[in-house]
Amino acid sequence: MDQKERMLAELPYIASDEVLSRERLECKRRIYELNHVHPDQYNRIPGLLKELFGKSGEAVFVEPPFHCDYGYNIEVGDNFFANYNCTVLDVAKVTIGKNVMLGPNVSFYTAGHPLHHESRNSGYEYGISITVGDNVWIGGSVVIMAGVSIGNNVVIGGGSVVTRDIPDGVVAAGNPCRVIREITEEDRKYYFKKRVFDVEI
């Protein structure tokens, strides 16, 4: 098993491997092009994302700048939006469902290093996959750590550090992120706290 196969199997691997280093360089070239698209040509961005990501649904948009390691380990569904400065350390799969919105400065960290210094200094690292369900809003400056699964119909409050799984249908926030409450049918009529929509939804 080579180092790329080990990485994709979520086993300890050496990131300085020649093949992986070459793939990261190619990803950097693609990201450079994405991050330097002239604002008058932003209609190019969805096509560039389809080339970069492993899978990309319809109506997908990322506000530059964007950063990732490989690109091919990222899968996003329809109606995906990421605001400025999204970072995805995609040494393992990052799978994101449909109708997902990310605030600015959201980070996905599949990558990790051993706790013990001698193991860490060996050069081995690892990646554990992250999954985000459908109809999820992730607020600004959220960090999602390796191995986390976020359910469907979830809101993650800004500034949270998500270290454990989040179930369906809840608001969760904090460091470490924890469930605050369920999202109910009553919430449908409000757009912010107790401010009621003045339009038909």
Which residues are known catalytic residues? 113
The per-type count for the chain, helices as H runs and strands as E runs, is 4, 22
Listing DSSP states for 68-85 in one string gives: ES-STTEEE-SSEEE-TT
What is d(CA 107, CA 17) in angstroms, rounded to the nearest whole number?
A: 25
What is d(CA 27, CA 92) in angstroms, rounded to the nearest whole number?
A: 15
C-alpha torsion angle, residues 149, 146, 56, 54 (rounded to 10) = -130
**Torsion-angle region of residue 174: left (phi > 0), alpha (psi -120 to 50) or beta?**
left
The Cα angle at residue 79 between residues 140 and 31, in degrees rounded to 5: 65
What is d(CA 72, CA 26) in angstroms, rounded to the nearest whole number?
A: 11
What is d(CA 45, CA 85) in angstroms, rounded to the nearest whole number?
A: 15
Would you give the DSSP letter of residue 147? T
